Structure 1
Amino acid sequence: MLTSVHLKVISILSILICILSIAGLITLIVIWHTKLTPFKDYAVVVDAGSTHSKIFLYTWPADKSDGLGLTSRVTQVKACSVPGGPITSIKDPTENNAQQYFQSAMTDCISKIPSTRKRRAYIFLGGTAGLRLFDMKNSSYTKNLLNSTRAYFSTLGVHFKAPENQVRIISGSEEGLSGWISTNILMGKLLENNQPLETYGVSDMGGASTQISFIAPNAANDSFNMNLFDTEYDIYSHSYLCYGTEQLRLLYLGQLVNDANGSLLIDEPCLQIGYIQNLTYDDIFNTPCIQNQSIPLPSLNVSSIFSFIGSGNFSVCSDTVRERLNKSACTSKDCSFNNVYQPVPIPPSNKFIAISAWYTTFNNLAPNVSLSPNKDGNFDFNSVNFNQIKAAIAAICSQPWSDMSEPDKYRPFLCFNSMYHWTLLEYGYSMTDENLKNFHIVKSINSNDIGWTLGYMINQTNAIDPELRPTRLITKNEFGGLLFLCLFFLILSAIITIIAMKYYKRRRYY
């Protein structure tokens, strides 16, 4: 039978266990905030595009032991535009010139990396279609340019151990798939949802190429299988080199020159009435795109200067742009143009997001469509049809240039750019008004710019050396188990203490 002494000892032991349990809980809470909240790592990704370069700084939890960090938790910290045009504006590709080109923007972005994380921070440069074209034209130049950039990056004090991989020209399919990942991560369609048919297709418009990517389980070609969060995604993705806005316009102008039969004064139906653009022979024909598709007439003088005189003729402009999207070359119904395989039709239920130059062009056209951006600054087309958009383009094309007040440098080409983008969507990709109901033009989501760089960075975090991923003091499962034990012993000791004290007091009365 328990005596008063026994009850007193039991009470004291229970109180000690209770105190130890409380101390254990406090310790676990401290561990949760300090050890289970991982350090943040950083990486710099440079988008070396055909018209400009832009530097993005990303961060993600350094501890990826729970698996979630592999593809879901990279976020954008800052974006820094590099002044001075594209990277190919470096005429003499030396390390010093590469440094001068990147220095101001690079310093701005890297300054946001904490000093304790800088040496762990990765840096990547991806050259897109503009560099792919330059490599076709002058491979020795691009080799020297990339090597000079690698030499400069090695001086930045960041993690740069694999120069050939970290600075390179990426493929069109890699660019398209990375853009697809970026978009669907930001839209919450990967990890949180895991329903392939509910993902967004992506149309990415650049200066030298355009990409289209969307879920297509039965695609026969250009099909890529990706496993994300234990879910299989079968994605159709194709990159059209030379069909970015700027290169397509050169192809279009080259055709106008050839059709002009030697005249230097050329009617330009996709320029506003009264606008004149003067271009040299080299401005038009000195690109691999036009050399492959629009060989200039032998009679043309290479020192010629052509004057393109805007006539703002919507109908002729539309027909001439369509000629660049050669449907007659298709040998099957599943074809976009130029005999490129594409599943047709694209189901109207497929949601699409258009990014990059799609946004910069439509943002200027939108007032003519009477379409305002949503609260995030993006455009939804559920109440708009192709005829309304065409009417807006026709109004832009026919507007006399003399009526323009303080236009920016891109305004003269709004007629052509808009015509091309929407002709590509309707005529090239065979989309309909029903597709438009699920079509969106987007600049950013939750302050993250949408482009290939985020998806690329997400993939690159999978390749980070295991030794650079610090392990936690305890795992989440261990934390949960210890938390349960502490709470169990706390409650148990509290109950025993109360019961023992009750019996102890009762015995004292006897």
Structure 2
Amino acid sequence: MHLIIESTLNTCDDKVTLDVQEQDSVIDTIYRFCRHRNVDPRIGVLRNEKGQVLNPTYSLSLCGIKDGDTVYLGEPDMDEVPASRSCDIRCTVIAAAAVLIGTIGLIAVCVSQGWTSSLSDQYGIVLDAGSTHTQLFVYRWPGLRRNDTAATVTQVASCRAEGPGISGYSDDPTKAGPSLDKCLSTVAMTTVPSHARADTPIYLGATAGMRLLRDYHVYAHSFLCYGRVEAERRFFANLVVAGNYTSEVENPCAPSGYNHTFPASYLFEAPCSQGKQALLTWGSEVTFPDHLDVAETNFTMVGSSSYAGCVAHVDKLFNFSEPCDYASCSFNGVYQPSLHGNFQAFSFFYYVVDFLNLTRPGNFSISEFNTNVNTYCSKTWKEVQSIPGPLLDQLALYCLDAQYIYTLLVKGYGFEKDTWNVTFINQVKETNLGWALGFMLNTTNLIPSEAPIIQSKLSLTAYALLIVLFVVFLLLGVGFSYSAYKGTKSSKDRYRQLSNYGSV
């Protein structure tokens, strides 16, 4: 039969008569016309003479089209989009939404149902209450430790407290606590997070002369009274005795032009000056004359920058001629095994040697050490004052301290050129060397590690139902995606070339 198609498309304003079959579908008829006129067949719809849109999947006879009828090819209105195309779009949108909801829902449920909390770090504070000052150290280690060991203990901060050592507060102990306030507020409080402060232990260890020694089952010997403070005290007391207790005493280890006054009670009323401990350590006491009032007497040390005199008086602190009842001894007749291997000197040893500029770069020889000590001890107070850095009183003591270290290591312990494998060091990987680190490592074994925290916000039933729900969403998304794919494929298949294409 013959069908007249009148096109009102913008791209093709024409009227064509086609030879069609009654069983031909509407979409095939549109396709033949558009291919004949070289236009896109998907942009138009067919209407009958009443203006009704013909279903593209129906045959012409089913749409009531007869031989000689006229149909109109035009652009569809917004509500006249072909059902197949509309369905494809809706299926695609629904599929995307279902997959998105299912995926996000599953992730959210799994995350909220159970997770292992990231364990926070633990902290500990050690107050090294030494003889000259108190040092605060803040350490940190992981909350979860393998086999309840301390794992890696890291020093994260340190602070030197104001004031003297802890023994300096013996006359007024109430001042000892406030001396720590600045370090606690400016360093400890700012370093330890607020959530960890309640569980952060603070340990105070009183060292030097306040330390109690345990009994050892291996050989160990502590040279009590040979620490820096007590050695200096004994040195000055010896100078007073050698000067026949005059009010002014020459100090060969101090720079010329520098004077310092000591109370007699400080020099003579101390365990390392007189009494049992003095006799045990030094073998003698330094006594104060009965005709003088110890409470009212002061002695002024007058510096003379005499290196030779400094060496001679420092040597008097050691008894190198004491008989040795063993294969080898250090000084005062105390047994000492032979020196071998590498040694590390830190704390007081490091600070003095570092001041003499001997820690950079690397190790130095015994002769270099001796030369630098000699050079510094020969300076006047005016020359010493021009050196930046330390407090003035400390500058005046560096000669005595340096010569004391040299005498102790070389003459006392017997280090020689071949055995001088001594490294002066203060830190390893930004952590101060000293007993405080070892104390913290040992103490952390007594602090239980945190257990992993498993948090759950959903009951098992709710968790299972939500999992099923979001899995259903995913399945619906897959189903709608497949439907949209099939619809698109079938739509493309409808635009096939007919066998009688081209007959008009």
TM range, smaller chain? 0.5 to 0.7
Task: Name the residue aligned to 2:172.
Answer: 92
How far did residue 100 of structure 1 move?
2.2
Task: Confirm whether residue 433 of structure 1 aligns to residue 408 of structure 2.
Answer: no
Q: Which amino acid aligns with 2:312?
A: D
Name the structure 2 match of 1:334.
Answer: 328
1:373 aligns with 2:368: no
Deviation at 1:79, TM superposition (A): 0.8
Matched-pair contact (CA < 8 Å) for 1:63–1:472: no
1:119 aligns with 2:106: no
Which residue identity is paired with 2:374? A
TM-score by length of 2: 0.60
Offset from partner CA, 1:334-358 (integer Å, 9 cap, x none): 3222233321x211xx111111111
Q: Kindly provide the CA deviation profile for residues 154-212 of structure 1, in whole angstroms up to 9, marking residues without a partner as x.
A: xxxxxxxxxxxxxxxx4457xxxxxxxxxxxxxxxxxxxxxxxxxxxxxxxxxxxxxxx
Deviations 1:24-51 (A, max 9, x none): 9xx99xx9xx849643111111111111
Superposition pairs for residues 157-236 of structure 1, below 5 Å?
170-171=211-212
- Paired residues of 1:257 and 1:266 also in contact (CA < 8 A): yes
1:419-498 matched pairs, under 5 angstroms: 419-436=403-420, 438-464=421-447, 466=448, 469-471=450-452
1:310 aligned residue (300, 303, 312): 303
Relative distance call for 1:297 and 1:102 in structure 2 (3 A) is closer
Which runs of structure 2 are paired with 1:272-421 in the superposition (5 Å)? Answer: 272-292=255-275, 293=278, 294-299=285-290, 301=292, 302=294, 303-329=296-322, 330-343=324-337, 345-347=338-340, 350-366=341-357, 371=358, 373-374=360-361, 380-381=362-363, 384-407=364-387, 408-421=392-405
Taking a change above 3 Å as real, the CA distance of residues 443 and 249 of structure 1, as seen in their structure-2 partners, is same
Amino acid at match of 1:324: L
> CA offsets, 1:241-264, max 9 Å, x none?
221122101111111211222323
Deviation at 1:74, TM superposition (A): 0.7
**Distance verdict in 2 for CA 1:338–1:469, change over 3 Å:** farther
The answer to whether structure 1 residue 46 and structure 2 residue 127 are counterparts is yes
The equivalent of 1:83 in structure 2 is 162
Aligned letter for 1:442? I
Instruction: Find the aligned partners of 1:304 and 1:412 in 2 and give their Cα distance.
Output: 23
- Provide the C-alpha distance between the structure 1 equivalents of 2:417 and 2:116, rounded to a whole number of angstroms: 53
Mapped to 1, the partners of 2:177 and 2:300 lie a distance apart of: 38
Inter-CA distance 341–38: structure 2 relative to 1 (3 Å threshold): farther
**C-alpha RMSD over aligned residues:** 3.2
Alpha-carbon spacing, 1:39–1:387, altered in 2? closer, same or farther (3 Å)? same
Q: 1:276 to 1:223 in 2, by over 3 A?
A: farther
Change over 3 Å in CA distance of 1:252–1:99 after alignment to 2: closer
- Distance, in Å, in 2 between the alignment partners of 1:386 and 1:112 is 41
Rounded Cα–Cα distance in structure 1 between residues aligned with 2:199 and 2:144:
13
Partner of 1:478: none
Q: Is contact 1:274–1:400 with CA below 8 Å preserved after alignment? A: yes
Evaluate the alpha carbon distance shift between residue 44 and residue 279 of structure 1 in structure 2; reply closer, same or farther with a 3 A threshold: same
Give secondary structure in 1 for the equivalent of 2:437.
helix
The corresponding residue for 2:249 is 266
TM-score (norm 1): 0.59
Are 2:67 and 1:73 equivalent residues in the alignment? no
**Distance in 1 between residues matched to 2:327 and 2:348, nearest whole Å:** 29
Amino acid at match of 1:351: N
Equivalent residue of 2:321, what SS?
helix
- 1:4-35 CA-to-partner distances (Å, cap 9, x unmatched) read xxxxxxxxxxxxxxxxxxx99xx99xx9xx84
**Distance in 2 between residues matched to 1:222 and 1:338, nearest whole Å:** 21
Distance 1:269 1:333, change over 3 A: farther
Deviation at 1:424, TM superposition (A): 0.5
Q: In 1, are the aligned partners of 2:141 and 2:150 still within 8 Å (CA)?
A: no
**Superposition deviation, residue 59 in structure 1:** 1.0
Cα distance between partner residues in 2 of 1:319 and 1:262: 19
Q: Distance in 1 between matches of 2:213 and 2:328?
A: 21
**Per-residue CA shift, 1:204-224, capped at 9, x if unaligned?**
xxxxxxxxxxxxxxxxx9665
Quick one: which amino acid aligns to residue 287 of structure 2?
A: P
Distance 1:265 1:71, change over 3 A: same
Q: 1:258 to 1:99 in 2, by over 3 A?
A: closer
% of aligned pairs identical?
29
**1 or 2, which has the higher helix percentage?**
1
| Residue number in structure 2 paired with 1:102 | 180
Call closer, same or farther: CA 1:93–1:264 in 2, change over 3 Å. Answer: closer
Q: For residue 399 of structure 1, what is the amino acid of its counterpart? A: K
Distance 2:403 2:412 in 1: 12
In the aligned structure 2, how far is the partner of 1:284 from the partner of 1:435? 36
Question: How far, CA to CA, are the matches of 1:36 and 1:237 in structure 2?
Answer: 47
Q: For 1:269 and 1:223, how far apart are their aligned partners in 2? A: 43
**AA aligned opposite 1:332:** Y
Contact 2:121 2:140 in 1 (8 A): yes
| Separation in structure 1 between the aligned mates of residue 453 and residue 446 of structure 2, nearest angstrom | 19
CA distance in 2, matches of 1:86, 1:255: 23
SS of 1:291's equivalent in the other structure is coil
Matches of 2:159 and 2:355, distance apart in 1: 23
Conserved 8 A contact 1:128-1:172:
no
Distance 1:36 1:433 in 2: 57
Instruction: Give, in angstroms, the shift of residue 455 of structure 1.
Output: 0.6
Distance 1:418 1:37, change over 3 A: same
SS, match of residue 77 in structure 1 = strand
In structure 2, what is the Cα distance between the partners aligned to 1:223 and 1:385?
Answer: 36
Structure 1: 5+ residue runs without aligned partners?
1-22, 133-169, 174-220, 225-235, 375-379, 474-510
Letter in 2 for 1:326: N
Paired AA for residue 101 in structure 1: S
User: Measured at CA, do residues 222 and 310 of structure 1 come closer, stay the same or move farther in structure 2, by a change above 3 Å?
Assistant: farther
Q: Secondary structure at the match of 2:346?
A: strand
